[in-house]
Each structure stands twice: as structure tokens, then as C-alpha cells.
Structure 1
Amino acid sequence: MEEPRFQARALNEAAQAIRNTIVGRLHDDGLNHHDVQFRVKTPESAAEKLARRGQDGQLKYPGGLARLDDLIGVRVILFVESDIDAVAIALSSQFICHDDEDKTAMMRKNGGIGYAGRHLTLEVPAINPPTGCRDYTGQRFEVQIRTVLQHAWAEFEHDIRFKGSSGDNAEISRAFTMASTLIELADQQFVNISDILKRVQAEGTIEAAPESKRLDAGTLQSVLARAFPAYRNSKENQYDWMVHILAANGIDTVSAAEDWFGSMDPDRVAQIMQYRFSPGQVRVADDLLLQSLGESYVDATKEVGSDTNREHKLRSRLRRLRTDRDGD
């Protein structure tokens, strides 16, 4: 059987489609993230990896390119470390998961210091593939999930140790160890801040915006914080997106939004949708509006935003909501 050839253009197209699908999934689930990046391994890097041999002299990857899971690499960069598990669950739900290794947890358990990361090996499924990835079924790829601080540390360390000439210097190694400890402490404080914010919202101590005020991203965040205190904050630009979604349905003031969301039961929708983790406030709002308005909501909002697959996703979610209602 002829060995498949390295096709950089096809891999780049697949990587872009996978990246777009992941961004869409994070948006749909309301998972707050900083960035999603991708890279495609160069032909030279792939050839070097294929030439590697073990201590026994045998090739480590005798299957050729078909055995390399990291021809495409994706990096998901988050703000809060506690969101890493939710992202791993979301991606494992959408793609086939062949491997899920929490190297950071293993390192900390063994008393180590530094960044190791959460690494997933995923595959685009042949059955029910994501809409944007239908041409790339069977394509495997690796995903690294890390926080902004972990990302900064890892990128700087890589430049020093692998591109510089002083990576083995003992003084530099000690400084990196100290920096990694501080980053771990900072990540813990970011989680603590996030938890405090959720508690403050749950206690209702956030001052309400004037009800007559026109709705914008800031006032909507306050409205949803009061309406859904048990759910996580969404990414800032998602609140702006939801403002446009609401406007398309005639809801453009704080008082109108308060009336809508104050009368809805988010826990009922959560039970129907069977979220595998706590979704963001914007995702909950989207599902509640979909449940209440049905087809008219799909028609009014299917082209709001940049997600070209939104109509398909909305109709799929609406079927779930209707199936449960019909079952009652």
C-alpha cells in the first residue's frame, strides 16, 4: 500500500476547519476563553519525527504519517484553570477522544513544579461529524489546554531552552522554577476571584442597572448575573452578541430583559439539555429563548453573528427541547 504523502495545504484547511469548530463549540457552551490557535507540522518536522528510533533501534512510528497524531496541533488558551476540565469534556463530546492526559495534575501529584498541561488526542468522527469538518472525517489532531499564564510561561521557556544558548544554565533553571511556582499561585487566585464573583452574584449584591436604560453588553451581564447566579460568566463579546440576538426578538431595554429572564426556569432547560458541565450565562439565555420562541427564534437569529452553522445547531437543540416537552 502506497505511503500517504505530506499534503500541507490539505492539512492547513483541515486545521482551520477544526479550529473554527472548536471556537463554535466553546461559544455555544459559554466557555470563556482567551484564544484558540492551531499549527500544522512542517514536512521537515514530520520527517524528523518519523526517523526517530527507540533504544532497541526500531522506528518509533513504523506506520509512517498515518501514525502521527500531531500533524495538526490546536491550543486552547483559557483565563481560569478551573475551566480546563469543562473544555476537555466539551471537546471529547464533539470529537472521538483517543487519549486524555492531565500531565500537570500528574506532575503536581508527584511533587513536581512547572507547567505540563492537559493534552487530548482527538479525531473527527465519521458518524455525525461537526458540520464544518465533514470533509475531514478520520483526521486526528492533538489539543493542548492551558491558561494564559501557563501559555506565557511555556512559550518563554521554549524560546530560552530550545532556541537559546543558555537553556541549561542552573541560574536560569532556578528562575524558571520560581516563576512557575508564582504562576501556579496566580492561577489559583484567578480561580478564587472567579468563585468570589459567583458568590457575590448569588447573594444579589451586584447593583442593578436602571430598568429604563437601553440594553448593552454591560447591563445584560448584570441582568443575567441576577437571573442565573448559579451559572458561570460568559466571554465578554458573547454578551454583546446576545444583545443583538435579543434586539432581533424585540428585546432592547433592561426592563424587557429582566422580565424575560426573571420569569424563566434555567434549571428546567439544564435538565432537558443535560449539560455535562455548568454552561455560561449566555448559552443558558440562548436555550431559554429557543425553548420559549421556537421556530420564530431560529428564523430571527440564525444569521446573527459569524457562526455559519448556527441554524443547524439551533434546530438540533430545538428538537431536543420539543422531544422532552412531547414526552411530558
Structure 2
Amino acid sequence: MGLRWDRLDEKLRPAVEASTEQYARVRPALEKVTREMQGIVRSAFADTDLKPLFVAARTKSVESFRDKASRTLPASEPGAPPVLEFPDPLRQLNDLVGVRVIVSLPHEIREAAYVLKRLRSEFDCRSDREKDIGYIESGTYGYSSRHLIMRTIQNDVVKEYQRVLGEPAKPNGSYIFEVQIRTILAHAWSEIEHGIRFKAADPRAWSPYFDRQFVATAAMLESVETVFSELHERYETVMGYWDEDGEGAAPLTPNRIREVWQTLLPHVDRKADDDWGWAAELLAAHGIKRTTELVSLLQADAITRVRRALEHRYSPGPDRLLDDVLLWRFGRRHIELTAGDDAHRRESLLRRHRQIEAYRQAHREAAGEDG
């Protein structure tokens, strides 16, 4: 039983009962409308780069309809009984049919809304509201969701429903419903919160502790989604580095080398200044002048082997690590091209080169024994 219905004034119950009986009668036809809307929304993404995790839909249950139809507003005059907020709920409620588009990351919410609002032959978007905006401006937390209120345009399934509904509805194919777009994490949070806070909430059992915990989990959710968004952006950036006709073709200026290094190896960035000209010189000595070539050099497996071979006593900075990776890749050629007349550097490179060769020999012998 719904809490609002249970507390509804006896004088208002007959009107709500009549609306609920009518809703129960027409609900099978409305379920067809729900399936139709779900299908149109799902097909909207077929030819786009955005692929939602899933598109769900539901028709409001009879019990939920009755409870929402039982909402009241204070009377306009003191002492007068309350009045129904929705005196004609079948035509006033916009959420009898609801479609949910569930995506992976927050930025996809905006993309999904853009796709749906372009379906002008199917829908007219009457309202577009971002639920998280209010939380941000008030300094509080809640799940992020975008709510679109859509109106169908001359839809045949809607016309059939309107014929079943009867007067005063006209079978013009125009029907208003709601589309919610949210991430999978926000969806899970809202489902749990709604189940505890609204559907199963008994005010006698409620505690401020519940509110506190829901706010805390919403804050954690925002942090997790921020991390996932940053991971996605980093992934897209790295993928761009491999595009030989795009970002991968960009020349290796000192600033570009720093940018690529800090993207691929943010944990190895202890230089005290922003001058990466030394790196450009080292790379240019081997003819490495494009972004793709640097990315190919800085692969994790090669860096791991370099670290093991040289057994660094201290975690190397970018200058030492890049020098060692080039020595690993080019061997004595790196020494001849970069040591010049610097006897100290030449001796250091030769010592490290012997360590690398000893490491390689040991692993070749170990591989032969394993074979």
C-alpha cells in the first residue's frame, strides 16, 4: 500500500479510485506505448559512436499510479481541506512511461541527450534538465541524471492507446513521456536509494543516519566517476599518439616530449624545471622526431626490463630513464652518438651497457634451460 493513499482524506479517495480503475483498464495499451518508445530510443544509437550499456523502460505500476495520484496540495483558504495535486492524473502525469538510457561515463550523458533531441521526426523535446546541477550549486550531493521530457509526434501506437483511453483524449499520436539518462554507477545508486528511501520507507523507522550515509555514498560515487573520466581521457590521448596521420605525426618539440612523457609516465616526473631540450637532443640523435616513435620507445615492458637490468638504487628521473631506454634500444650506437668527448658520460654509459648485456645473456641462458 502507498503511504500517500493510506493517509488520503476520505473525501478525495473516490476521485483517486476512479482514476486508478481507469488506469488499470488502459495500462496494457500503455505498455505497448512503452515498448514502442524503448525501441525508438534504442534504435537512435544504432548508427552512432555512442553505444549505451542498455536502454530500459517501464510502465508505472497501478499501485505507484494510485500513490502519485494521491498527492495533495494545501488548501488555498485556512481550514479548508487539501486538494489533489493531479485531479486528472492520466493526462497530467508525464512519468507513466519512462525510458532509461544507461551509459558508462558522465560525458556520454551529454552525447546521448544530443542524439535523442535530434530525433525531430519522432519526438519534440519539451524539457531538458540536468539533475546534478542543483546539487553542485547548493554544495550538496546526489546522483547525476539528465531528464528529458519528450512528446511523440503522430505515433500510431500512441493513437491506439488514445482510442482505448477514450474521451476527451483525441487520437492524434501526441504523448508526453520521460527519458532519464545516467551512468551505470548513478543508476545503481539511485535504484538502491529509491528502494530504501521511497518505496520501502516507513517514517517511523527512518533515521538521519540513512540520509547521512546516502550523501556519503553520493560523494564517493562522484569521486569514482571523476577517476573513470580521467582514465578515459588519458586512454583517448594515448590512442591518439598512435595515429600516424593525426596526433602521432606531431613533431617532438621539447614541450611535446614533456606532454607525452607526463601522459605515459606520470609517476616518473621529478625534473625541477620545464626545459626538456635535452630530451629532444637525445631523441634527435637517433632520428626520433615524431610522437609515434617516442610512444613506441616508451613501452612499459621495455622500461621494466631496463629497471631490472640496471638495478637502479634510486628511482630515476626522466633524464636518466630516457637515457637508459635509448641505451637498451640502440646499445653502443647510443654511446657513440651521445657521449662525444665527455669521458665521464662515456664511462657511465659503457658500465651500464655491460650490465644490460649481462642481463640479456643471463635471460637468454635461462630461456635456453627452460626450453
Bucket of the pairwise TM-score, normalised by the shorter protein: 0.5 to 0.7
1:214 corresponds to: none
User: What is the CA–CA distance in structure 2 between the aligned matches of 1:67 and 1:79, rounded to whole Å?
Assistant: 33
User: C-alpha displacement at 1:62, in angstroms?
Assistant: 2.8
Alignment of 1:40 onto 2:40 = no
Distance 1:125-1:76 versus aligned 2 partners, 3 A rule = same
Alignment of 1:120 onto 2:148 = yes
User: C-alpha displacement at 1:99, in angstroms?
Assistant: 1.3
Q: Which amino acid aligns with 2:148?
A: L
Given that 1:160 and 1:167 are in contact with CA atoms closer than 8 Å, whether structure 2 keeps it comes out as no
Given that 1:74 and 1:143 are in contact with CA atoms closer than 8 Å, whether structure 2 keeps it comes out as yes
User: C-alpha displacement at 1:93, in angstroms?
Assistant: 2.0
2:129 to 84, 101, 104: 101
User: What is the CA–CA distance in structure 2 between the aligned matches of 1:132 and 1:47, rounded to whole Å?
Assistant: 24
2:115 to 87, 90, 98: 90
Given that 1:18 and 1:133 are in contact with CA atoms closer than 8 Å, whether structure 2 keeps it comes out as no
User: C-alpha displacement at 1:138, in angstroms?
Assistant: 1.1
Q: Which amino acid aligns with 1:155?
A: E
Number of positions where the alignment pairs a residue of Structure 1 with one of Structure 2: 204
1:203 corresponds to: 241
2:88 corresponds to: 63
- SS at 2:72 equivalent: coil
1:29 to 42, 48, 52: 48
Give a deviation string over 1:245-272, Cα, whole Å, max 9, x none.
xxxxxxxxxxxxxxxxxxxxxxxxxxxx
User: What is the CA–CA distance in structure 2 between the aligned matches of 1:49 and 1:176, rounded to whole Å?
Assistant: 24
1:157 corresponds to: 193
1:172 to 189, 204, 210: 210
User: What is the CA–CA distance in structure 1 between the aligned matches of 2:197 and 2:209, rounded to whole Å?
Assistant: 13
Alignment of 1:54 onto 2:49 = no
Given that 2:158 and 2:174 are in contact with CA atoms closer than 8 Å, whether structure 1 keeps it comes out as no
TM-score for both structures, normalised by structure 2:
0.50
Distance 1:64-1:183 versus aligned 2 partners, 3 A rule = closer
- SS at 1:172 equivalent: helix
- SS at 1:171 equivalent: helix
Given that 2:74 and 2:83 are in contact with CA atoms closer than 8 Å, whether structure 1 keeps it comes out as yes
Given that 1:78 and 1:84 are in contact with CA atoms closer than 8 Å, whether structure 2 keeps it comes out as yes
User: C-alpha displacement at 1:201, in angstroms?
Assistant: 1.7
Q: Which amino acid aligns with 1:200?
A: V
- SS at 2:95 equivalent: coil
User: C-alpha displacement at 1:175, in angstroms?
Assistant: 2.3
User: What is the CA–CA distance in structure 1 between the aligned matches of 2:239 and 2:140, rounded to whole Å?
Assistant: 36
User: What is the CA–CA distance in structure 2 between the aligned matches of 1:135 and 1:22, rounded to whole Å?
Assistant: 20
1:73 to 95, 98, 115: 98
User: What is the CA–CA distance in structure 2 between the aligned matches of 1:146 and 1:116, rounded to whole Å?
Assistant: 7
User: What is the CA–CA distance in structure 1 between the aligned matches of 2:33 and 2:125, rounded to whole Å?
Assistant: 17
Between Structure 1 and Structure 2, whose CA radius of gyration is higher?
2
Unmatched runs of 5 consecutive residues or more in structure 2: 1-18, 76-81, 162-172, 249-371
User: C-alpha displacement at 1:45, in angstroms?
Assistant: 2.3
- SS at 1:37 equivalent: strand
User: C-alpha displacement at 1:23, in angstroms?
Assistant: 0.9
Give a deviation string over 1:187-212, Cα, whole Å, max 9, x none.
11221122112211211179xxxxxx
Give a deviation string over 1:156-187, Cα, whole Å, max 9, x none.
12222231568732333322222111110111
Identity rate of aligned residues, in percent?
Answer: 29
Given that 1:98 and 1:123 are in contact with CA atoms closer than 8 Å, whether structure 2 keeps it comes out as yes
Higher relative contact order (CA 8 A, sep 6+): 1
TM-score for both structures, normalised by structure 1:
0.56
Distance 1:169-1:34 versus aligned 2 partners, 3 A rule = same
User: C-alpha displacement at 1:42, in angstroms?
Assistant: 1.9
Of 52-61 and 9-18, the range deviating more from structure 2: 52-61
Distance 1:132-1:42 versus aligned 2 partners, 3 A rule = closer
Q: Which amino acid aligns with 1:152?
A: A
Give a deviation string over 1:282-312, Cα, whole Å, max 9, x none.
xxxxxxxxxxxxxxxxxxxxxxxxxxxxxxx
